C-alpha cells in the first residue's frame, strides 16, 4: 500500500480525515500526521510518505513554506492543499510550487477521495513509465554492443558518404565522432586437425580467442579520445578498429594511432599463440580519416593479411610493406591474367601453357626477391584452389592452403621455390586430368586394388601406397572411398576375408595358419573381423 501524511494544526480535521476517508479501499495507509510544518518536515524525512495532504495556515512553518521545503527535496512528491476559503490566494501561490491539487474546506468525502484516486492513478502511471524506462535502458545497454558491432560490419562492407553517418546515430551507440580511423584484420589459422568433425573444438578456440581480444583491448591504456573495438567478422577472422576523436587529425596523431594498432595486434597474436596454441596473423591497414574511410583501411588490412599468412605466426604485416610487394604483380600481370582466365574458363590445357610461360619468366628474371616469388606463387595456388573447388565441389583439394603456406616457407632460395612450384603445378594438372578422364575407372583406384591383390598376405601401409603413386594419402583415401563406396581398410579386410574363406573351405589349414596367410598377425583379431564381416566364426567354415 502507498502511504500518506496528514498535516493540519486543527486536530479534529486530522481525526475526521482518518475516520471518514476509505483509506483501505483506496490502497492507502496513514504513515504520519503533524500539527505544523516543522514537525511535518521532520516526519517526512523519517517516513518518506508517497503523498502529503497539508493545510496552509499553521504555526511555526506554514503550509506554503512546507511545500517549498518538500519540493526542494522531492520534486515529484504529490501534494494536496486542504485550505479554508479565505486562504484561496495562498493556494494559488502554492500551485506555482507544483502542488497537484487544492481543496477548499469543508471538502466532502467523495471530493477528497476523488482527488486521491486521481493522484494514485498518476502515481501508478508514473511507476509504470519508470519501469518501462528502466527496462528500455537495460535492453539498450544489453543490445548496445550488438548494435554497435552491426554498424561496424556495415562500415566494413558498405561504402558510406560522410554525410550519411549522423552524430545522433553515433551518439545513440555511444561512439564519439572520430577524426582518424584504422582497421586491423586478425586471422586464426585453422589447423587440419581441427577441421570437421572437430567443429566443437574449433568453436571453443574461437570463443577463447574472442575473450582474449576483448580483454586485452579493455585493458589497454589509451590516449584521450582514442577507442578500440573488436568485431567478430567470420569463422576465423576478427577485425580490430581504432577510432581517434581527438581535435588534432595531424601526422603525429596518425602515427600515434598506427603505433597503437601495431602494438595491440602483435600482443594479441602472441597471446593467442601462447595460450590457445594456434597460429594467428594480422594485417594492418593505414590510418584514414572519418568513419566513411574506415572501409579503405579495412580493405588494405585484408590485402596485407595475404602477405602475413606466409610470413609466419604472430606476425603483424603493415599494408605499406605489402604495397611494395604488389610491384611484382605489375611485372607478371599479363601472364597471371592468362593463367586465371584459362582456369576460370575451365581450360586446363591453356592453363598448362600459361604456367610454362610464367615458369620460364621466373627462371630468366634475375631481379626480384624471394618474397616477390612467394607472392606470385600464392596467387597461382589460390587460383588452383578456386578452380578445384568449382570443378570438383564434392572433393577436397589435394592440398589445403594451410599446408601450402607451410611448405612454401621451406623453400629458402628463389631457385628452390621456382622448382618446387613447378612440381606442384604439374602434379595438380595431372590430378585434374585424372579427375576429368572419368571417376569410375580412375587409374589410381585401380592401382590401389591391384596392390591389395598382390600384397594382401603382408602388412600393408596405405601411406606407402600413396607415396608409391606420388599422391597425398588424404587425397587418395577420399578418392578411393568416393569411387568404390567404401574406405580402404574395409576393402582390404573384405578382400582378405574372401581369401580366408577359400583357404578354410579347402580343409587343409588351421585357423591361425589362415590368419597369417591373409595378413593378420593376431588370430583373435582375425576372428573378430571375420565374424563381423560374415556373421560366422572361422571354425564354422570347416563344417560347410
Regarding whether 447 and 432 lie in a shared domain, the answer is: no
Regarding whether 333 and 308 lie in a shared domain, the answer is: no
pLDDT digits 0-9 by tens, 216-249: 998 888 988 899 999 998 888 999 999 998 877 7
Q: Which three cell numbers stand for residue 229?
A: 573495438
Regarding whether 70 and 30 lie in a shared domain, the answer is: yes
Regarding whether 450 and 384 lie in a shared domain, the answer is: no
What CATH code is carried by the domain that includes residue 35? 3.40.50.2300
Regarding whether 335 and 412 lie in a shared domain, the answer is: yes
Angle in degrees, 0-180, between the axes of helices 37-47 and 63-73, rounded to the nearest 10: 30
On whether the pTM is more than 0.85, the answer is no
pLDDT digits 0-9 by tens, 383-428: 888 888 877 777 778 888 888 888 888 888 888 888 898 898 888 8
Paired sense of beta strands 28-34 and 237-244, if any: unpaired
Regarding whether 505 and 362 lie in a shared domain, the answer is: no
Residues above pLDDT 70, as percent of the chain: 89
pLDDT digits 0-9 by tens, 377-395: 888 888 888 888 877 777 7
Regarding whether 75 and 15 lie in a shared domain, the answer is: yes
Q: Which of 96-105, 266-275, 342-351, 480-489 has the highest mean pLDDT?
A: 266-275
Number of domains in the chain: 4
Paired sense of beta strands 237-244 and 315-318, if any: unpaired
Regarding whether 275 and 187 lie in a shared domain, the answer is: yes
**Which of 127, 152, 174 is where one domain is finished?**
127
25 occurs within a structural domain:
yes
Confidence check: pLDDT of 540 > 50:
yes
pLDDT digits 0-9 by tens, 64-109: 889 889 988 988 899 998 877 555 666 667 667 677 687 887 888 9
144 occurs within a structural domain:
no
**Which of 264, 293, 317 is where one domain is finished?**
317
Regarding whether 198 and 300 lie in a shared domain, the answer is: yes
Q: Measure the CA–CA gap between 342 and 349, rounded to whole angstroms.
A: 8
> Greater confidence, 323 or 466?
466
Q: Measure the CA–CA gap between 331 and 357, rounded to whole angstroms.
A: 13
What is the pLDDT at residue 312? 47
Regarding whether 526 and 450 lie in a shared domain, the answer is: yes
136 occurs within a structural domain:
no
Regarding whether 345 and 303 lie in a shared domain, the answer is: no
**73: buried, middle or exposed (CB in 10 Å: 19+, 13-18, 0-12)?**
exposed
375 occurs within a structural domain:
yes
Regarding whether 493 and 402 lie in a shared domain, the answer is: no
132 occurs within a structural domain:
no
22 occurs within a structural domain:
yes
What CATH code is carried by the domain that includes residue 536? 1.10.10.60
Sign of CA dihedral 492, 493, 497, 503: positive
Of the pLDDT bands very low, low, confident and very high (cuts 50, 70, 90), residue 15 is: very high
Of the pLDDT bands very low, low, confident and very high (cuts 50, 70, 90), residue 30 is: very high
What CATH code is carried by the domain that includes residue 211? 3.30.70.270
**Which of 317, 344, 360 is where one domain is finished?**
317
End-to-end CA distance of the chain: 94
Contact 290, 324 (CB under 8 A): no
Of the pLDDT bands very low, low, confident and very high (cuts 50, 70, 90), residue 280 is: confident
Domain of 295 in residue numbering reads as 162-317
153 occurs within a structural domain:
no
3-state SS string for 379-394: HHHHHHHHHHHHHCCC
134 occurs within a structural domain:
no
Contact 226, 214 (CB under 8 A): no
Amino acid at each position: 500500500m502507498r502511504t500518506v501524511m496528514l498535516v493540519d494544526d486543527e486536530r479534529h480535521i486530522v481525526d475526521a480525515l482518518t475516520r471518514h476517508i476509505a483509506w483501505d479501499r483506496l490502497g492507502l495507509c496513514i504513515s504520519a500526521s503533524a500539527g505544523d510544518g516543522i514537525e511535518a518536515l521532520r516526519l517526512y524525512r523519517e517516513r518518506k510518505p508517497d503523498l502529503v495532504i497539508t493545510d496552509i495556515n499553521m504555526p511555526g512553518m506554514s503550509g506554503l513554506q512546507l511545500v517549498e521545503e518538500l519540493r526542494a527535496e522531492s520534486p515529484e512528491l504529490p501534494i494536496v492543499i486542504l485550505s479554508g476559503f479565505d486562504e484561496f490566494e495562498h493556494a494559488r501561490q502554492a500551485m506555482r510550487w507544483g502542488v497537484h491539487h487544492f481543496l477548499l474546506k469543508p471538502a466532502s468525502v467523495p471530493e477528497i477521495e476523488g482527488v486521491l484516486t486521481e493522484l494514485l492513478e498518476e502515481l501508478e502511471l508514473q511507476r509504470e513509465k519508470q519501469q518501462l524506462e528502466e527496462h528500455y535502458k537495460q535492453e539498450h545497454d544489453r543490445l548496445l554492443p550488438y548494435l554497435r558491432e552491426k554498424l561496424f560490419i556495415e562500415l566494413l562492407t558498405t561504402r558510406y558518404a560522410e554525410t550519411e553517418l549522423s552524430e545522433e546515430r553515433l551518439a545513440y551507440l555511444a561512439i564519439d565522432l572520430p577524426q582518424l580511423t584504422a582497421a586491423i584484420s586478425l586471422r586464426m589459422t585453422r589447423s587440419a586437425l581441427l577441421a570437421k568433425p572437430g567443429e566443437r573444438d574449433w568453436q571453443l578456440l574461437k570463443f577463447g580467442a574472442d575473450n582474449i581480444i576483448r580483454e586485452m583491448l579493455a585493458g589497454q591504456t589509451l590516449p584521450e579520445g582514442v577507442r578500440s573495438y573488436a568485431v567478430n567478422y567470420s569463422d576465423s577472422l576478427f577485425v580490430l578498429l581504432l577510432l581517434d576523436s581527438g581535435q588534432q587529425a595531424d601526422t603525429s596523431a596518425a602515427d600515434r594511432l598506427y603505433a597503437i594498432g601495431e602494438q595491440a595486434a602483435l600482443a594479441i597474436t602472441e597471446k593467442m599463440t601462447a595460450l590457445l596454441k594456434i597460429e594467428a596473423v594480422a594485417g594492418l591497414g593505414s590510418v584514414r580519416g572519418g568513419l566513411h574511410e574506415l572501409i579503405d583501411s579495412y580493405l588494405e588490412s585484408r590485402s596485407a593479411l595475404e602477405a602475413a599468412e606466409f610470413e609466419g605466426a604472430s606476425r603483424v604485416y603493415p599494408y605499406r610493406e605489402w604495397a611494395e610487394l604488389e610491384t611484382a604483380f605489375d611485372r607478371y600481370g599479363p601472364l597471371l591474367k592468362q593463367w586465371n582466365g584459362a582456369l576460370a574458363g575451365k581450360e586446363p590445357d591453356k592453363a598448362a601453357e600459361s604456367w610454362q610461360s610464367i615458369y620460364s619468366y621466373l627462371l630468366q628474371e634475375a631481379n626480384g626477391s624471394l618474397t616477390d616469388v612467394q607472392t606470385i606463387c600464392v596467387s597461382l595456388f589460390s587460383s588452383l584452389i578456386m578452380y578445384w573447388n568449382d570443378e570438383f565441389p564434392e572433393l577436397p583439394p589435394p592440398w589445403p592452403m594451410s599446408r601450402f603456406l607451410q611448405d612454401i616457407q621451406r623453400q629458402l632460395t628463389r631457385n628452390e621455390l621456382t622448382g618446387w612450384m613447378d612440381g606442384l603445378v604439374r602434379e595438380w594438372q595431372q590430378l585434374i586430368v585424372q579427375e576429368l578422364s572419368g571417376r569410375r575407372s580412375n587409374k589410381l583406384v585401380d592401382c590401389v586394388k591391384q596392390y591389395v591383390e598382390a600384397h594382401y598376405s603382408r602388412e600393408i601401409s596405405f601411406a606407402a601406397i600413396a607415396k608409391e603413386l606420388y599422391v597425398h594419402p588424404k587425397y587418395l583415401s577420399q578418392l578411393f572411398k568416393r569411387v568404390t563406396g567404401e574406405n580402404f581398410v574395409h576393402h582390404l579386410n573384405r578382400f582378405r576375408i574372401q581369401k580366408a574363406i577359400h583357404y578354410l573351405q579347402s580343409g587343409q589349414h588351421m585357423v591361425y595358419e589362415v590368419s597369417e596367410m591373409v595378413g593378420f598377425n593376431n588370430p583373435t583379431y582375425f576372428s573378430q573381423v571375420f565374424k563381423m564381416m560374415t556373421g560366422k566364426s572361422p571354425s564354422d567354415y570347416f563344417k560347410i
